[in-house]
């Protein structure tokens, strides 16, 4: 039976390590303050933002909330970001996505200073990752690398298959696995013979956004399976992109949903917030 990779436990360990480090940095007069912007009141976004602020409080990172009404204009949002970019007290800026349809997401992402881009979404951050320079790394894929590291799963020389090519998860995930000397294949909706390609994987990372799409036919015996998806089923329970009950018996290790990748995303946001003042 597979080892269950406990994202909750790893994220708690990481947050406790960060808490200690933040106390040390405070003693040297260095303080992290995260500005959290939410436009509108999408209930899911409110939950995420609430959890991010709670994590800041736990670790000792300051947080400032900017809850803007749905009808906020793009110009008003850009003016706020400009102000926060210039404010030396603010060390990280996060604008919760999605923003309302009349605001262009890319314009917002590009306006946040790369020095305060704790989400790692700015093209400068992505470019730095691409060429192996220092910079903020998108939290979910960075969290997956931490999970692999804490689980003693070595990436070097392994066949790694990433299913999904989003800017936030799939692409940075592929770059991080490559940086760790994996042999990386990225699959997407146009990939032919997806099952066959996935079955090559020693490490399979799935971020497709389709409930239980990955069944045992996609998985090689003994593979490590990382599930980024999270979906609410009709019965109220959560599930991932991987059909856990069918896939787990074949794996050497697997992340559950909930309690796998999810908790790592916020822990890595906190890591990035601390990195901003290191
Ligand atoms: N919306 C969903 N996930 C994220 C995230 O990691 N960062 C931001 N800013 N918005 C999100």
Tally of CA atoms within 13 A in the half-sphere of 70 that contains its CB:
6
Q: In this predicted model, what pLDDT tens digit does every residue of 19-46 receive, in sequence order? A: 999 999 999 999 999 999 999 999 999 9
Check whether 265 has a pLDDT greater than 90: yes
Q: How far apart are CA 124 and CA 115, in angstroms?
A: 10
How many angstroms is it from 1 CA to the middle of ligand 1?
33
- Do 147 and 251 fall within a single domain? yes
Q: How far apart are CA 219 and CA 206, in angstroms?
A: 11
With H, G, I as helix, E, B as strand and everything else as coil, classify residue 163.
strand
How many angstroms is it from 21 CA to the middle of ligand 1?
25
Q: Which domain holds residue 156?
A: 139-263
Q: Whose CA is nearest to atom 11 of ligand 1?
A: 97
How many angstroms is it from 122 CA to the middle of ligand 1?
13
Annotated active-site residue 52? The verdict is: yes
DSSP per-residue codes, 126-150:
HHHHHTT-S----HHHHHHHHHHHH
Close Cβ partners of 187 (under 8 Å, ≥ 6 residues apart)? 161, 162, 163, 164, 165, 194, 197, 198
Among the listed residues 6, 119, 227, 243, the single catalytic one is: 119
Nearest atom within ligand 1 for CA of residue 119: 7
Q: How far apart are CA 223 and CA 114, in angstroms?
A: 36
**pLDDT for the residue 57:** 98
Domain membership of residue 272 (yes or no) is no
How many angstroms is it from 132 CA to the middle of ligand 1?
23
- Do 72 and 148 fall within a single domain? no
Domain membership of residue 6 (yes or no) is no
How many angstroms is it from 199 CA to the middle of ligand 1?
30
Tally of CA atoms within 13 A in the half-sphere of 66 that contains its CB:
19
- Do 101 and 182 fall within a single domain? no
Domain membership of residue 49 (yes or no) is yes
Tell me which DSSP letter residue 234 carries.
T
Q: In this predicted model, what pLDDT tens digit does every residue of 12-24 receive, in sequence order? A: 999 999 999 999 9
Pocket of ligand 1 (CB under 6 A): 94-97, 119, 139, 265
Q: Whose CA is nearest to atom 8 of ligand 1?
A: 96
Q: How far apart are CA 260 and CA 56, in angstroms?
A: 20
Annotated active-site residue 54? The verdict is: no
Nearest atom within ligand 1 for CA of residue 94: 9
Q: What percent of the chain has pLDDT over 90?
A: 99
- Write the CATH number for 155: 3.40.50.720
What is the value of pTM for the model shown?
0.97
The total number of structural domains in the chain stands at 2
- Write the CATH number for 67: 3.40.50.10860
- Do 81 and 178 fall within a single domain? no
Domain membership of residue 95 (yes or no) is yes
**pLDDT for the residue 1:** 80
Domain membership of residue 211 (yes or no) is yes
Mutate to test the pocket of ligand 1, among 40, 49, 53, 96 (most ligand atoms within 8 A of CB): 96
Q: Are 207 and 229 within 8 A, CB to CB? A: yes
Q: In this predicted model, what pLDDT tens digit does every residue of 229-248 receive, in sequence order? A: 999 999 999 999 999 999 99
How many angstroms is it from 273 CA to the middle of ligand 1?
15
Mutate to test the pocket of ligand 1, among 35, 39, 48, 228 (most ligand atoms within 8 A of CB): 48
For range 67-74, the mean pLDDT: 98
- Do 96 and 161 fall within a single domain? no
Nearest atom within ligand 1 for CA of residue 269: 6
- Do 247 and 198 fall within a single domain? yes
Q: In this predicted model, what pLDDT tens digit does every residue of 167-207 receive, in sequence order? A: 999 999 999 999 999 999 999 999 999 999 999 999 999 99
- Do 147 and 101 fall within a single domain? no
Domain membership of residue 154 (yes or no) is yes
Nearest atom within ligand 1 for CA of residue 265: 6
Domain membership of residue 198 (yes or no) is yes
Domain membership of residue 274 (yes or no) is no
- Do 169 and 245 fall within a single domain? yes
């Amino acid at each position: 039976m597979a080892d269950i990779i406990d994202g909750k436990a790893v994220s708690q360990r990481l947050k406790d390590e960060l808490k200690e480090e933040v106390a040390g940095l405070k003693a040297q007069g260095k303080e992290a303050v995260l500005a959290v912007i939410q436009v509108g009141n999408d209930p899911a976004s409110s939950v995420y933002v609430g959890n991010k602020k709670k994590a800041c409080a736990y670790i000792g990172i300051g947080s400032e909330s900017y809850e803007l009404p749905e009808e906020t204009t793009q110009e008003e949002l850009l003016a706020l970001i400009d102000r926060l970019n210039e404010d030396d007290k603010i060390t990280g800026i996060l604008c919760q996505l999605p923003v309302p349809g009349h605001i262009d997401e890319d314009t917002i992402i590009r306006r946040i200073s790369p020095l305060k881009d704790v989400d790692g979404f700015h093209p400068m951050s992505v470019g730095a990752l691409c060429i192996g320079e220092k910079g903020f790394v998108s939290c979910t894929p960075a969290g997956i690398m931490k999970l692999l590291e804490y689980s003693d799963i070595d990436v070097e020389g392994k066949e790694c298959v990433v299913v999904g090519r989003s800017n936030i998860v799939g692409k940075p995930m592929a770059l991080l696995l490559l940086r760790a000397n994996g042999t990386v294949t990225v699959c997407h909706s146009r990939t032919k013979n997806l099952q066959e390609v996935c079955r090559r994987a020693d490490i399979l990372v799935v971020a497709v956004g389709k409930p239980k799409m990955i069944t045992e036919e996609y998985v090689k015996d003994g593979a490590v399976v990382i599930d980024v998806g999270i979906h609410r089923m009709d019965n109220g329970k959560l599930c991932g992109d991987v059909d856990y009950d069918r896939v787990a018996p074949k794996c050497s290790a697997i992340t559950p949903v909930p309690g796998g990748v999810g908790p790592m995303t916020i822990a890595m946001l906190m890591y990035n917030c601390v990195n901003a003042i290191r």
